[in-house]
Amino acid sequence: MSDPALLRSRAEGLAQALPPLLADAEHLAQAVILGEHGRRRAGMSDEFWQYRPAHAGDEARMIDWRRSARSDAHFVREKEWQAAQSVLLWVDDAASMDFSGAPDHPTKADRARVLAMAVAVLLMRGGERVGLSGTGVPPRRGPLQLLRLAEAFSTAPTGADYGAPEARGMAPHSRAVFLSDFLGDLAPVEAALAKAADRGVKGALCQVLDPAEEAFPYDGRTVFESMGGTLRHETLKAGDLRARYLDRLATRKARLADLARATGWHYSTHHTGEGAQGALLWLYRALERVR
């Protein structure tokens, strides 16, 4: 760390990745206009909630004299209670996310990161605390947290072929967002969701898939390899496998949807061939609903 050259090159590498990611996320979040979200009950905040007759015990300075002057009774002005929520993000950083079926759309990992950052930007603008699941980046708020998140997203992927969700460090009754292709083993996902459900954590599962994974546009004699090269399947007529592959994919989606329903989560599929806007809106609304 003391080597200035090394430090500088690392800083430069970081700076290279950070601004585009942040800029993309900010750009994406720009499209959603939101205000502070009230808790629909009186509390500490800036927003007006209601006038109520002054009780005994209310301090004199709490009385809203302007309102009280219009009638004989004394009124106290109450503000809406606004509370910050912790939202934990998990973005799959396994090798399988590094796939892009066509040069004109981004890899799944890129899209997932941008979505996660955009959600973070939105949530922070809404006054929430955002962090990463696991122990790396605990939920906080402020622009610095955004930079931390971006840095965390920009770290090199783990070597694994398929990722498993991280369910550690979840505060009870917080919110969580899992972004992954969910193409690997489903058991860790189930375990994570079960753990989250135990703690009353609700959230959203967003399955990011490439259009090629949805359409399976392959034919002829083909050797399929996973991104990490650990899995391998050879076929002589890839076209024949299409129906069965799609069948399996549908089964997997149904399974994920069932899981989400059982644990009170929301589940949706997003394709990298489409714009990120729709997925962001869905994510935002999904988080809003469970609040």
Q: Which is nearer to other proteins, 51 or 218 (CB)?
A: 218
Q: Alpha-carbon distance 54 to 62, whole Å?
A: 9
Nearer to other proteins, 154 or 222 (CB): 222
Cα of 150 vs its chain's centroid, Å? 13
Minimum CB separation of residue 226 from other proteins in Å reads 5
C-alpha span between 25 and 153 (Å, rounded): 12
Q: Which of 90, 99, 153, 284 binds other proteins (CB under 8 A)?
A: 99
Q: How far is the CB of 161 from other proteins (least distance, A)?
A: 8
Q: Which is nearer to other proteins, 36 or 234 (CB)?
A: 234
Q: What is the DSSP string of 127-165?
A: T-EEEESSSSS--B-SHHHHHHHHHHHHSPPPS-SS---
Nearest to 267 by CA among 161, 168, 169, 186: 186
Task: Please say which residue, 102 or 262, places its beta carbon nearer to other proteins.
Answer: 102
Whichever of 80 and 210 has its CB closer to other proteins, that residue is 210
Q: Are 89 and 101 in contact (CB under 8 A)?
A: no
84 Cα distance to chain centroid: 16
How much is the CA Rg of the chain, to the nearest whole Å? 24
Whether the Cβ atoms of residue 220 and residue 237 lie closer than 8 Å to each other: yes
Residue 226 to residue 232: CA distance in whole angstroms? 6
By CB under 8 A, the count of residues binding other proteins is 39
Whole-number minimum distance, CB 238 to other proteins, in Å? 6
Q: Name residues contacting other proteins, limited to 132-191 (CB under 8 A).
A: 162, 181, 183-184
Min dist. Cβ of residue 221 to other proteins (A): 4
Binding mask 101-130 for other proteins (x = CB under 8 A): -------x----------------------
**Nearer to other proteins among residue 1 and residue 236 (C-beta):** 236
In contact, 211 and 101? CB cutoff 8 Å:
yes
Binds other proteins (CB under 8 A): choice among 62, 249, 281, 290: 249
Q: How far is the CB of 183 from other proteins (least distance, A)?
A: 5
Looking at beta carbons, which pairs linking 211-219 to residues 24 or more positions away fall under 8 Å?
Answer: 211/101, 211/102, 211/105, 211/271, 211/272, 211/273, 212/99, 212/101, 212/102, 213/99, 213/101, 213/181, 213/183, 213/249, 214/246, 214/249, 214/271, 216/241, 216/242, 216/245, 216/246, 218/242
For residue 234, the minimal CB distance to other proteins (Å) is 7
- Binding flag, residue 255, other proteins (CB under 8 A): no
Q: Which is nearer to other proteins, 45 or 107 (CB)?
A: 107
The interface with other proteins within residues 189-248 (CB under 8 A) comprises: 210, 212-213, 216-227, 231-241, 244-245, 248
Task: Tell me which residues touch other proteins (CB under 8 A).
Answer: 96-97, 99, 108, 162, 181, 183-184, 210, 212-213, 216-227, 231-241, 244-245, 248-249, 252
